[in-house]
Amino acid sequence: MRLFTGIVLLLLTTATVAGQGKNPGQRPNIILFLVDDMGWMDTSQPFGDSVMALNRRFHTPNMERMAKEGLLFHQAYVNPVCTPTRTTLMSGMSAARTHITNWTSITPGTPTDFKDDQLQAPRWNVSGLSTTNEPNTYFCARPLARLLKDAGYFTIHVGKAHWGSLGTSGSDPMNLGFVVNIAGASLGHPQSYYGQQNFGNMPGKTTFNAVPDLQAFYGKDTFLTEALTQKAMAAMDFPIANKKPFFLYLGHYAVHLPIQPDKRFVDKYLAAGLDATEAAYASLIEGMDKSLGDIMHYLKERGVEKNTVVVFMSDNGGLANTGRGGERNTQNLPLRAGKGSPYEGGIRVPLMVKWPGVVKPGTKTNSYVSAEDFFPTVLEIAGVPLKTAIDGVSYVPVLKNPSGVRNGRPLLFHYPNRWTANEDEGYAWSGAMRLGKWKLVYLMKQQKLELYDMEKDLAEQHDLAASHQQQLKALAKRWTLELKRRGAQMPVWKNSNKPVVWPDELVR
């Protein structure tokens, strides 16, 4: 046992030196395998403490394998909708600070909030992230990809970008520091997953959601997830051949709407009795899982597996509001609600990290992390010094010591917006803070604060606000402080033109 520890320590030391960039040839490659709209339960690999009902629905053997080879996070958080998470990944800043609090429209300058009689969204950055400080954007001169590129990393973007509206610098991943961009632009979902439909590029029918590039697959029986995987692998060839460290941001369009069946996988789900929509959804999941396996296989074949960090995550919780099969708000059970909500179903996602030689295979952690932590984590892995203040905190210490849980930091989820026609379950005008075992939820229109004990009540069924007044007050005060520190904006009451009050004002 002592010998084993010695080996681990030695590997850690090597990795640290490499990470510090003292031997640039040794710097690890980094892959972000980002799934769109994938829920915490959308996998046969449990992210909870046990196998639960929905885990039995899905087949994700490659995720299971990755869990055996890396570290699994039980409590990984992101923002409730996509653009806020994606812009946070690139900037290291909280959505409360970037003011990119909702998904961005393809059309610049256009709010995407669903109309509401009583509230209106604050003036948020509706055009997304920008490297040139354009109107209605959050200005980030040196996004993550740019920092890595400047440090000599070969930076590859494949798939969904959705960082900025058309006509802005943020619409083009190359402006954010990617050397290569394949299929990324302003669109948040694909017009079609099908090569036979040219992924939407059909004159007369083409919308801005037609997926760019990929012309070689037009008219072919190639599913979008597969096409992106093949392109990603081809794109890694150059840095591997030239011994350049690379950063691959593989942002799958899957499993976002439209829920189109991937015919390679759908039959078994239909046979298992799922309805057409849910069978198609499960096939999207399994196609994504095959992609993960193909990428892993590629890394091994090219001899770079041992020097490549792979981060698997989703950008928000699984869809449970509308558009899915089955009853609303059941798709992430036992988690409550789904995408668009600050309840766990909307913000808790699968996260795994494989880092051979550093992360101990088959480990799990209860340390919680949030979307903004990805930025400093990747920079630390790459050995790139962080020269500006950000909201995120590197979770490299967790990767090295997953059992040393220190959940003493508040995580903020701020959604002063309205997503859809549905207003139940926090899908509009809401926020949340996680601190230690506690979670506060703020339903702004209802002017209601809820308090949950996440250690005992994963499903958020027992609101402790009434019974834990002192705790509630203290947490609301801290939350307000943290929101103000980040310059957060609140929605505005239409009748009074006054902003919604801060959490602490509700419980004074």
Contacting residues toward a second copy, per CB under 8 A? 108, 149-150, 152, 154, 166-169, 171-172, 174-175, 179-182, 185-186, 198, 201, 203-204, 206-208, 210, 212-220, 231, 234-235, 238, 241-242, 244
Secondary structure tally for the chain: helices H, strands E? 12, 16
Closer Cβ to a second copy, 221 or 505, answer by number: 221
Cβ partners under 8 Å of residue 152, min gap 6 = 24, 27, 244, 245
Token digits of residue 234: 């081809």
Q: How far apart are CA 168 and CA 36, in angstroms?
A: 22
| Nearer to a second copy among residue 214 and residue 349 (C-beta) | 214
Position 364, amino acid: K
- Considering the complex, what minimum distance in angstroms separates the CB of residue 81 from a second copy? 21
First to last CA, the chain: 55
Cβ nearer to a second copy, comparing 37 with 134 = 134
424, 441 Cβ separation under 8 angstroms: no
CA dist., res. 81 & res. 189, Å (int): 13
Give least dist CB 241 to a second copy, A: 7
Distance between CA 139 and CA 128 in Å, rounded? 9
Tell me how far, at minimum, the Cβ of 196 lies from a second copy, in Å.
10
Nearer Cβ to a second copy (112/332): 112
Residue 324 CB, shortest distance to a second copy, in Å, is: 27
Cβ nearer to a second copy, comparing 220 with 264: 220
Residue whose token pair is 């090295």: 400
- Identify the helix (H) or strand (E) that includes residue 194: none
CA–CA separation, 209 vs 197, rounded Å?
13
Supply the minimum distance, in Å, between the C-beta of residue 176 and a second copy. 10
Nearer to a second copy, 237 or 455 (CB): 237
For a second copy, the closer of residues 203 and 408 by Cβ is 203
Contact 267, 276 (CB under 8 A): no
Minimum distance of a second copy from residue 244's CB (angstroms): 7
Q: To the nearest whole angstrom, how small is the minimum distance from the Cβ of residue 160 to a second copy?
A: 13
DSSP alpha helices (H): ranges in 182-329? Answer: 224-241, 266-271, 276-301
